[in-house]
Homo-oligomer: A and B are copies of this chain.
Amino acid sequence: MAYRILIVDDELILTELLSTHLQDHGYMVSVANSSDEALAKLNTKPNLILLDINMPGMDGLELCKVIRNHIVCPILFLTARITEQDKVNGLRAGGDDYITKPFGLQELLARIEAHLRRDERNNRPPEVVTSHGLIINLSDRKVFWNEQELSFSKREFDIIEFLSSNPNQVFDKERIYEAVWGYDAEGDSNVIKEHIRKIRAKLMQASGSEYIETVWGMGYRWKK
Contact = CB atoms under 8 A, between A and B. Distances in A.
Contacts of A200: none
A94 interface: yes
Interface stretch (A5-13, A187-195, A212-220): A212-220
Contacts of A178: 114
Contacts of A127: 92
Contacts of A125: 91-92, 94
Contacts of A69: 123
Interface in A146-168: 153-155, 168
Interface string A123-160: 11101000000000011110000000000011100000
A63 B128 CA distance: 23
Contact of A94 (B124, B170, B183): B124
A93 interface: yes
Interface residues of A, number: 36
Contacts of A68: 123-124
Q: How many copies does the complex hold?
A: 2
A39 interface: no
Contact of A92 (B97, B139, B215, B216): B139
Nearest to A170: B141
B170 A124 contact: no
A215 B65 contact: no
Given A65-B123, A94-B124, 19 more contacts: A65-B121, A68-B124, A69-B123, A91-B124, A91-B125, A91-B138, A92-B125, A93-B124, A94-B123, A97-B183, A110-B183, A111-B183, A114-B184, A140-B169, A140-B170, A141-B218, A154-B217, A154-B218, A155-B217
